[in-house]
Amino acid sequence: MPAACVRDMAMAETVNLKQFRKRAERLRAAKQAETNRARFGRTRAERARDEQRKKRTGELLDQHRVDGEEVS
């Protein structure tokens, strides 16, 4: 190999594997968190609204119950 070619070759960049692994793990965790938020995440307002609807539905059903009738 001519000396000119050797001088033009750049040395490989060193990589800290510990930092690389940590960065990769953080990216995986962030991706998983995003997926979980999409699947399970609901705002406090959404949970409160659903709870209110559930409570109201139960009250309406109780109003239509015949006296002395056991719930089955």
Q: What pLDDT, on a 0 to 100 scale, did the predictor assign at position 17?
A: 93
Q: What pLDDT, on a 0 to 100 scale, did the predictor assign at position 13?
A: 85
Domains in the chain: how many in total?
1
Domain carrying residue 49: 18-62
72 lies in some domain: no
Q: What pLDDT, on a 0 to 100 scale, did the predictor assign at position 40?
A: 87
| DSSP secondary structure string for all residues of the chain | --HHHHHHSPPPPP--HHHHHHHHHHHHHHHHHHHHHHHH---HHHHHHHHHHHHHHHHHHHHTPPTTPPP-
48 lies in some domain: yes
Q: What pLDDT, on a 0 to 100 scale, did the predictor assign at position 63?
A: 87
Q: Which residues of the chain have pLDDT under 70?
A: 1-10, 68-72
1 lies in some domain: no
Q: What pLDDT, on a 0 to 100 scale, did the predictor assign at position 70?
A: 64
